[in-house]
Chains A and B, each alone.
Chain A
């Protein structure tokens, strides 16, 4: 059985985002595998270790740099990679179309993905892929079991857990709490260098959305610190709230 994992290369979650000419400045930003996708890769490798599947293929759509994300997944233990070369300005629709085309060709029994990308956070791509391929889809899963051509997953539902069963092939997207992704060993990294990665061009698809503007959140204002005994401090604070911050008190 073959599993295909969609991995996206995203900004490091701690990266300092700055805008330059209305766009996100990429210089000095470290790129990582989307943390949710790392979980999906780990999940796939664990299935392989349990001999449930025999091949783990990672695919990523993006610029040449995305090769690093593929190599990291290979170092963790995936078997093979496919880089779909695509403009980084592609939207969720175009990405899903490109990915779905390759998935169709590869024809895996299971497609794993992260449920959301840490950068744009739109949570659409796996759902769209499932739609394009006409596969069943379970989102935000925290466990997965495969038996008799069926996948059973738990996923987070509002205030509880939902257990869902679908038949294969299917698209499943992961929540971070599914597992703890492994740290690639040097052995893994060395082996990854020898694992095959093919490169294909993305099938053409026009974006359906247009990003009009990026803006950074307003800088947090420095707080004030009143260092006095509690009675004096309380009076000063009340004064500050009323007269400096000019808070409106609603009754």
Chain B
């Protein structure tokens, strides 16, 4: 690619990279380059200062090895980015194009500053060939991405800005001028070459640059050399411009992306813990600067790709919540507006903060609204948006930058509930119920074990507080099995299956409490912790070591969140246990159902815990004919009940269906005889959906445990 101008250089036979041939004062760029680098560093520091405004605590300096690996894989393999097949792959090409071109440029700078030797001979030809190819693929990448944004225009890119176009144009021009310069140089080379061998070298070293030489072959050598020189300087100028612009444009994602791959949350899906809640002085996040540094870094990492928006059930049903715009981007704009005041206040010392805000020069620059007086939760994000979220995790699953949306939403809910005392009245009702009767339905807690008698399975169950027998697994039935009439039947099926397979299990009855998931995700951390403590005391009291959980919300809480409070148990979802029992031959379906079914991946079993296969194995064992729907597994669309939304009314937005109806329609496409779920909330929501779609006659809604039990002659 950079083979060059042997005649001008005095002539030699070995192909090698010659920089600056035909460009007098070429060495100046190695001095000039410090200008863009300085601007880059200055700009980067301006951004870093914003993250350092964070008052919240966030620790991300553990597991450095794993972090390094994460950074490496997600940067260089672009493992998240390429999940979006076309645009992702094109970004992959562009990324690698730039990486390799940057390495080539770096080799030149190293030659100049550090005296690295030139790459020569066959290695040079290979090197040049690779650089040429990747530069070309990068060019394809940027063109394809421009086509996606401006011609294909998917809804996810619904906030295209003028600057997006300028950045694309800049990147495109840098790549294109690179090839034109090369073409000019090669055409001069061909004219000047003394041997055919040299021309052959050119051709093998620069397969694409070679093509760009054709248009110039008939142009006079003098003109070619002049144009080469002019374009060369232009190319360098815009390349430096790009470097300087990184911290000030969307190009900044190159840096923040890598930081996010390094500092991402490596743990299982869990809401961050509030330690020492009794001594806390404020709750949740009221002001943008109350977030932790990683949360603020997240705002800078968002590249507005809209993958979160595309998969968000709230956005897709017309709600005010759009994780890209009404959460992340609005918060980012607010941080940027508020930062000058906060920085000034920080410089002036905390106590004068308020006065500074009033007298600040920055205040004059800002139009009518003073960002210091804007409320993050009421004016910027808005309570409507905060309550819209179902915690379904589609945003976090698909975000190429590993941005953590749910923890931010939960932090703002915490402030609303525990500090402002401002919440939907249905949430209040659910809290009161959980507080007084340890279940969100509010049925008297003393009746928690009554379902055993109602379903006629009392003698199959070791009700530990009464029967006091030893057990291997604790069956944590949860509130739905205890109090929801429909779901009691699922509890029954599961008990019968465990009994049949000879599993040793115990059940705590009235000494079992609500898992607290709904309380926590609705922002009532205090209530959540009270419930967790009651459960932990019970579990420890009975020496529990292994737990089978029925509801995926309880499963997620017990497995991923209870350890924050010292819970240390082996936690299984019942579908994991059933899959194991089936595989071991302890449960055998002898009445293969044959029914055509669709399966709904609940968010908390699926995306939050990546359990996609075990329930399918159970359904297969039951002899059903499972038809996969379009939005399954990690693309599963929420039923609408997560994040405590089970207890809040969902009002359909004009022109849209409600979340559960939207999901039910997707599940009904193959016209199944059954829709199968694994979660009590999903079962309720989808049953309602099927009723709403008037499909009850044709399609019944069941839980995995019921389906397996049906397939066995008892």
Contacts and interface: CB of A to CB of B under 8 A. Distances in A.
Interface of A: 12, 14-16, 28, 30, 32, 180, 182-188
Nearest to A31: B436
For the complex of A and B, 4 pairs with smallest distance between CB atoms: A185-B421, A16-B446, A14-B444, A186-B418
Interface string B508-529: 0000000000000000001000
21 contacts: A12-B444, A14-B436, A14-B443, A14-B444, A14-B445, A15-B444, A16-B447, A182-B428, A183-B421, A183-B427, A183-B428, A184-B421, A185-B417, A185-B420, A186-B277, A186-B280, A186-B283, A186-B526, A187-B283, A187-B419, A187-B420
Interface in B268-282: 277, 280
B609 interface: no
A227 to B, nearest CB: 15
Given A182-B421, A185-B421, A186-B418, A12 B447 contact: no
B442 interface: yes
A14 B421 contact: no
B419 A186 contact: yes
Given A16-B447, A183-B428, A184-B421, 7 more contacts: A14-B437, A15-B444, A183-B417, A183-B423, A186-B419, A186-B526, A187-B420
Contacts of B447: 16
A12 B436 contact: yes
A102 to B, nearest CB: 28
Contacts of B283: 186-187
B280 A183 contact: no
Contacts of A16: 444, 446-447
Residue among A28, A30, A180, A188 with the most chain B CB within 10 A? A30
B530 to A, nearest CB: 12
Nearest to B442: A14
B215 to A, nearest CB: 72
Contacts of A184: 421
Contacts of B420: 185, 187
Interface of A is mostly: loop
Nearest to B416: A185
A15 B417 CA distance: 26
Contacts of B423: 183
Nearest to B438: A30
B234 to A, nearest CB: 61
A56 to B, nearest CB: 16
Contacts of B444: 12, 14-16
B421 A187 contact: yes
Nearest to B432: A183
Residue among A12, A14, A32 with the most chain B CB within 10 A? A14
Contacts of B428: 182-183
A185 B423 CA distance: 10
Contacts of B419: 185-187
Interface string B439-473: 00011111100000000000000000000000000
Nearest to B423: A183
A188 to B, nearest CB: 6
B431 interface: yes
Contacts of A185: 417-421
A34 B176 CA distance: 77
A79 to B, nearest CB: 16
Contacts of B437: 12, 14, 30
Residue among B280, B421, B432, B436 with the most chain A CB within 10 A? B421
B194 interface: no
Contacts of A28: 446
A45 B283 CA distance: 23
A172 to B, nearest CB: 24
Nearest to A184: B421
B540 interface: no
A95 to B, nearest CB: 24
Contacts of B442: 14
Nearest to A14: B444
B160 interface: no
Residue among A32, A186, A188 with the most chain B CB within 10 A? A186
A32 B436 contact: yes
Contacts of B431: 183
Contact of B421 (A12, A32, A180, A188): A188
A118 B672 CA distance: 49
A180 B429 CA distance: 10
B73 interface: no
Nearest to B437: A14
A182 B432 CA distance: 11
Interface string B239-280: 000000000000000000000000000000000000001001
Contacts of A188: 421
Residue among B423, B431, B432, B447 with the most chain A CB within 10 A? B432
A13 to B, nearest CB: 9
B58 interface: no
A184 B283 CA distance: 14
Nearest to B283: A186
